[in-house]
Chain A
Amino acid sequence: MRVPEVAEYARSLPNVVYVEDNLYACSEEGLSSIKEQIAKQHLNRVVVASCTPRTHEPLFKEACEEAGLNKYLFEFVNIREHCSWIHMHDSAGATEKAKELVRMGVAKACYLEPQEEFESEVFPAALVIGGGVAGMTAALSLAGQGIQVHLVEREKELGGLIRSVRTLFPAQQDTEDLLGPLVERVRSHPQITTYVGSEAETVDGFIGDFDVSIATDGQTKELKVGTVIVATGAQELKPIALYGYSRLPNVVTQLEFEEKFKEGADTPRNVVMINCVGARIPERTYCGRFCCTTAIKNAIWLKEQDPEASVHVLQRDVMAYGVDIEEFYRRAMELGVRFVRYDIENPPQIMGEERAEAVKVYHQLMGRQVVLPTDLVVLTTPLVSREDNERLSKMLKVPLGSEGFFLEAHLKLRPIEFATDGVYVCGSARYPSDIRESVSQAYAAAAKAAIPIRDGFVRAEAITAFCSERTCTACGNCVEVCPFGAIELQEGRFGETAHVNVAQCKGCGCCVAACPSGAMQQRGFDDRQLFGMISALAEEMTSGTGRQ
Chain B
Amino acid sequence: MSNQSVLVIGGGIAGIQASIDLANMGFQVYLVERTPSIGGRMAQLDKTFPTNDCSMCILAPKMIECAGHEKVHLLTYSEVAEVRGEAGDFQVTVRRKPRYVDLDKCTGCGDCVEKCPRRVPSEFNLGLDRRKAIYLPFAQAVPRKVTIDAESCLYLVKGRCRVCEETCQAGAIDFEQQEELLELEVGAIVVATGFDPYDPASLTEYGYGEIENVITGLEYERLICASGPTEGHLQRPSDGKVPRVIAFIQCVGSRDVNYKPYCSSVCCMHATKEAILANEHYPDLKSFILYTDLRAVGKQFQEYIIRAREEYDVNYIRSRPGKITVDERSGNPVVWYDETVFSEAGDPVRRVTSMGVDLVVLCQALVPRGVHPEMEEKLGLELDECGFLAIPDQLVRPVDTTVAGIFACGFCQSPQDIPDSVVQASAAAARVAELLIFQE
Contact = CB atoms under 8 A, between A and B. Distances in A.
Interface of A: 23-24, 26-29, 31-32, 51, 55-56, 58-59, 62, 137, 141, 144-146, 168, 170, 173, 178, 182, 280, 285-287, 289-290, 317-327, 330, 364-365, 367-368, 401-402, 405, 410-416, 430-431, 435-437, 439-448, 450-451, 454-455
B309 interface: no
Contact of A280 (B51, B67, B298, B302): B302
Nearest to B254: A326
Given A24-B139, A444-B424, A321 B297 contact: yes
A413 B420 CA distance: 9
B322 interface: no
Most-contacted residue by chain A among B60, B262, B426, B429 (CB, 10 A)? B426
Given A28-B143, A178-B395, A287 B427 contact: no
A168 B394 CA distance: 11
B151 interface: no
B196 interface: no
Contacts of A319: 293, 295, 297
Given A287-B301, A454-B25, A141 B430 contact: yes
Contact of A447 (B25, B302, B349): B25
Contacts of A410: 58
B418 A26 contact: no
Contact of A411 (B65, B300, B414, B424): B300
B433 A450 contact: yes
A145 B433 contact: yes
Given A323-B262, A412-B419, A444-B423, A26 B396 contact: no
Nearest to A325: B263
B48 interface: yes
B434 A141 contact: yes
13 contacts: A28-B64, A55-B58, A59-B64, A59-B65, A141-B431, A144-B433, A286-B301, A322-B265, A368-B347, A411-B300, A440-B424, A443-B426, A448-B426
A327 B261 contact: yes
A313 B424 CA distance: 32
B437 interface: yes
B302 A318 contact: no
A286 B298 CA distance: 8
Contacts of A32: 144
B24 A412 contact: no
Contacts of B261: 323, 326-327, 330
A26 B427 contact: no
Nearest to B385: A323
B350 to A, nearest CB: 7
Contacts of B141: 27-28
Contacts of A320: 263, 293, 295
A289 B51 CA distance: 19
Interface in B104-155: 108, 139-144
A498 to B, nearest CB: 36
Given A319-B297, A441-B423, A146 B429 contact: no
Nearest to A448: B426
Interface in B223-275: 255, 261-263, 265
Contact of B396 (A364, A439, A450): A439
Contacts of B396: 137, 178, 182, 439
B209 interface: no
A416 B426 CA distance: 10
A280 B388 CA distance: 31
Q: 4 closest pairs, A vs B, by CB? A: A444-B426, A443-B427, A367-B348, A447-B430
A412 B61 contact: no
A144 B50 contact: no
Interface residues of B, number: 77
Contact of A443 (B294, B302, B399): B399
Given A28-B144, A443-B430, A289 B298 contact: yes
B418 A413 contact: yes
A285 B180 CA distance: 55
Interface in B57-111: 57-58, 60-62, 64-65, 67-68, 108
Contact of B306 (A58, A285, A330): A285
A29 B144 contact: yes
Nearest to A293: B297
Given A144-B434, A319-B297, A447 B426 contact: yes
B61 A23 contact: no
Nearest to A411: B51
A413 B62 contact: yes
B327 interface: no
Most-contacted residue by chain A among B51, B58, B297 (CB, 10 A)? B297
A319 B302 CA distance: 12
A412 B261 CA distance: 27
A350 B191 CA distance: 51
Contact of B415 (A321, A327, A402): A321
Most-contacted residue by chain A among B60, B388, B397 (CB, 10 A)? B60
B427 A440 contact: yes
A412 B295 CA distance: 18
Contacts of A26: 57, 60-61, 64, 140
B394 A27 contact: no
Given A323-B384, A413-B422, A440-B427, A27 B139 contact: yes
A324 B262 CA distance: 8
B42 to A, nearest CB: 9
Contacts of A414: 422
B381 interface: no
B177 interface: no
B382 interface: no
A439 B297 CA distance: 18
B340 interface: yes
Contacts of B296: 287
Most-contacted residue by chain B among A58, A145, A446 (CB, 10 A)? A145
B380 interface: no
B386 interface: yes
Contacts of B398: 436-437, 439-440, 443
B303 interface: yes
Contacts of A455: 24
B201 to A, nearest CB: 24
B158 interface: no
B299 interface: yes
B373 interface: no
Interface in B169-209: none
A323 B426 contact: no
Nearest to A430: B299
A432 to B, nearest CB: 9
A212 to B, nearest CB: 22
A367 B350 CA distance: 9
A435 B395 CA distance: 6
Contacts of B64: 26-28, 31, 59
B416 interface: yes
Contacts of B67: 28
A51 B17 CA distance: 22
Interface string B408-421: 00000011101110
Contact of B430 (A168, A365, A444): A444
A137 B431 CA distance: 11
Contacts of A454: 25-26
A286 B303 contact: yes
Given A287-B301, A440-B399, A443-B427, 12 more contacts: A26-B61, A27-B144, A59-B65, A144-B433, A318-B293, A367-B340, A367-B347, A402-B300, A402-B303, A410-B58, A412-B418, A431-B298
B358 interface: no
A444 to B, nearest CB: 4
B291 to A, nearest CB: 8
